[in-house]
Amino acid sequence: MAQKIVVDPVTRIEGHLKIEVMVDGGKVVDAKSSGVLYRGIETILVGRDPRDAQQITQRICGVCPTAHATASTFNLDNAFGIQPPKNGRILRNLIFGANYLQSHILHFYHLSALDYVKGPDASPFIPRYEGDYRLPNAVNQKVVEHYILALEMRKKAHEMLAIFGGKMPHVVGIVPGGSSETVDAQKIIDFRSRLKELTSFIDNVYIPDVLTIAEYYKDYFDIGRGCQNLMSYGGFPQSDDGSDRFLKAGVFLQGQEQELNPEKITEHLKYSWFDDNNSQKHPREGVTAPKPGKDGAYSWMKAPRYDGHPMEVGPLARMWIGGEKKVKGLGEKAFSVLGRHLARALEASRVAHAMEEWLLEIEPGKPTHTPFEIPKESEGMGLTEAPRGALGHWIKIKNYKIANYQAVVPTTWNASPRDDNGVLGPIEQALIGTPVKDPENPIEVARVVRAFDPCLACAVHLFTPGQDLGKFKIY
């Protein structure tokens, strides 16, 4: 008989996520991902000065505020009809790139590794799910040592970020029109020195550690397939108009590579606590109208779909679409727990090496910022790639104020609930078929979920006032 397992809270992610799976015959047969991204930030933004969006949306997430800073400034640039000067574009890329490195390192060592590596028998490493830890003692110890080293490395990445970003978390250096910082050779060499150390860590410690874990957990190349549809908006503009991106934009849908068409994005609401009348709208027209208690709904996340399909976003999608041989060479096995970890590590290396070249393109003494005026009426769209996947911001300005603001974040794609057609979201699909040895210690479920690097961007868990959540469980 099928047994329900609830993992709540899923820790070592950003925010609050609850996973429910049904296990039958030792395998997951159904899955539900419930979470929220609703502190009402979109509602809070309405009526404010459009420029404030850049600071307020960063507060959606303290792990990747640079991603929201980037998406919101692309959005505002677009709405204001401006573009940053070359230096401004590069500074933004360097600030954001520094956080890519920080985020990927943090994700592997501090959020995920403890699913594979046994920490010392003391807080905060105990208590933990017991069972399947396979690394021999000496190997295990080495990775724990790297866990500690990685704390230092991720901090260094933030220091590097602050050279141009001002401070972190929540940067000030990324503003509409470019950057508030200026550039000189001292800042460049300061940045470069830290970058070299980080690059060496990524190439000589991080990637080898992922491969080591892969060696002992080979079966995780066959666990967590998911929907196998991939999408990337593209990240790190290489031209001042933003069209050419270092991380390529594209779509891989039902085995076919396609060009990205953002007009094909809609948000489904049937299983979310939002008014059905607004379902299947493009985010630009999106309405955030909460409807607690809606029958059958089980999440405060909307279900974004591309051309009607669920899409996986994140490093695997970007490396596949970008043609990374080591990822594509895995074939179907790339769509797996380990495929996702490997893609993330390889991407960290790619971005780190590219950043060194971007540094050399800076032209000290030239402007970093384009002045602008707020238009009375306008619309904008800002698309980028957060470390954990495709991130889009949309704005409507009326009478110099924000009339509508919508953000569709990566985890809304990955951890989305079922859509209007009943099709499961990417993480839900990835969980199907996952073996669960011990229902008391469902570590396999945690491994599948964490490989997506979920960022719920908010520790709020929303549900129906005065009603038992259980009413909505379909099991």
Partner 1 sequence: MNKISRREFLKFASFTAATLGLSQSVPEVAYALENAAKGQPPVIWIQGASCTGCSISLLNSVHPDIKEILLEIISLKFHPNISAATGHVAVEAFLGEAEKNKGKFFLVVEGAVPTKDNGVYCSIGEKDGRELYFSEIIKELGEKAKAVIAIGTCAAYGGIPAADPNPTGCVPVSEVIDPKKVLNIPGCPPHPDWFVGSLAHVLLYNELPKTDKFGRPKMFYGGIIHDNCPRRQYFDNSIFAKDFSEPGCLLLLGCKGPVTYSDCPTRLWNGGVNWCIKAGHPCIGCTEPGFPDKIGPIYEKMPEVKLPGISASADTFGEVVGAATAIGLGAHLIGNIVTGRLGGHKKKDKEGEK
Residue 365 to residue 374: CA distance in whole angstroms: 27
Tell me which of 47, 131, 323, 364 binds partner 1, using CB under 8 A: 47
Q: Which residue has the tokens 């179907």?
A: 332
Size of the site for partner 1 (CB under 8 A): 96
Cβ–Cβ < 8 Å for 301, 410: no
Residues 449-468 that bind partner 1 (CB under 8 A): 457-466
Q: Is 290 helix (H, G, I), strand (E, B) or coil?
A: strand
Q: Which of 28, 94, 105, 111 binds partner 1 (CB under 8 A)?
A: 111
Backbone angles phi, psi at 426, to 5 degrees: -55, -45
CB of 193 to partner 1, least distance (A): 12
227 marked ligand binding residue: no
| Residue keyed to tokens 């809070």 | 44
Count of beta carbons in the 10 Å neighbourhood of residue 118: 18
Chosen residue from 25, 124, 296, 365 binding partner 1 by CB under 8 A: 124
Structure tokens at 368: 């970093």
List 86, 170, 264, 282, residue binding partner 1 (CB under 8 A): 170
Among 3, 16, 1, which Cα is nearest to 415's?
16
List of residues 6+ apart from 200 with CB closer than 8 A: none
Q: Is 67 in the site for partner 1 (CB under 8 A)?
A: no
3-state helix, strand, coil in the chain (%, to 5): 40, 20, 40
Residue range at the interface with partner 1 (CB under 8 A); choices 2-10, 21-29, 255-263, 409-417: 2-10
Which of 200, 206, 197, 209 has the alpha carbon at shortest distance from 157? 197
Burial grade of 137 (CB within 10 A; 0-12, 13-18, 19 or more): exposed
Closest approach, Cβ 124 to partner 1, in A, equals: 4
**Max CA pair span of the chain:** 71
Q: Quick one: which of 22, 31, 63, 424 contacts partner 1 (CB under 8 A)?
A: 63
CB closer to partner 1 out of 163 and 397: 163
Minimum distance of partner 1 from residue 421's CB (angstroms) = 29
**69/85 Cα distance (integer angstroms):** 17
Q: Give me the least distance between CB of 58 and partner 1, in Å please.
A: 8
Residue span binding partner 1 (CB under 8 A) among the ranges 58-66, 244-252, 391-399, 416-424: 58-66
In the complex, the smallest distance separating the C-beta of residue 322 from partner 1, rounded to whole angstroms, is 28
Site for partner 1 (CB under 8 A): which residue of 2, 126, 211, 289?
126
What phi, psi does 241 have (nearest 5°)? -85, 0
Q: Which of residues 280-319 bind partner 1 (CB under 8 A)?
A: none
Of 93, 125, 20, 64, the C-alpha closest to 352 is 93
The C-alpha torsion from 307 through 311 and 314 to 320, rounded to 10°, is -80
Determine if residue 312 is labeled as part of a ligand binding site.
Answer: no
Binding to partner 1 in span 4-43, by CB under 8 A: 6-16, 18, 38-41, 43
1, 122, 185, 360: which one binds partner 1 (CB under 8 A): 122
Q: Is position 173 an interface residue for partner 1 (rule: CB under 8 A)?
A: yes
Sole binder of partner 1 in the list 268, 302, 369, 393 (CB under 8 A)? 369
**Min. distance of Cβ 431 from partner 1 in angstroms?**
14
- Closest separation between CB of residue 250 and partner 1, Å? 30
Residue 38 or 100 having the CB closest to partner 1: 38
* 61 annotated to bind ligand: yes
Amino acid, single-letter form, for residue 67: A
Cβ 377 vs Cβ 397: under 8 Å: yes
Let me know if 250 is exposed, middle or buried by CB neighbors in 10 A (0-12, 13-18, 19+): buried
Interface with partner 1 in residues 177-206 (CB under 8 A): 177-182, 190
Pick the closer one to partner 1 by CB: 51 or 309. Answer: 51
Binds partner 1 (CB under 8 A): choice among 89, 104, 158, 270: 158
**Options 368, 384, 414, 434; binder of partner 1; rule CB under 8 A:** 368
Q: Is 64 annotated as a binding residue?
A: yes
Site string for partner 1, 390-419 (x = CB under 8 A): -----------x------------------
Q: Which residue type is seen at 317?
A: A
CB of 97 to partner 1, least distance (A): 16
Report the C-alpha gap between 282 and 290 in whole angstroms: 17
Spatial distance between the Cα atoms of 150 and 154, rounded to a whole number of angstroms: 6
Quick check: 281 and 266 in contact, CB under 8 A?
Answer: yes
Q: Could you say whether residue 144 binds partner 1 (CB under 8 A)?
A: yes
User: In angstroms, what is the minimal distance from the CB of 411 to partner 1?
Assistant: 13
Residues annotated in the binding site for Fe cation, as ranges?
A: 64, 458
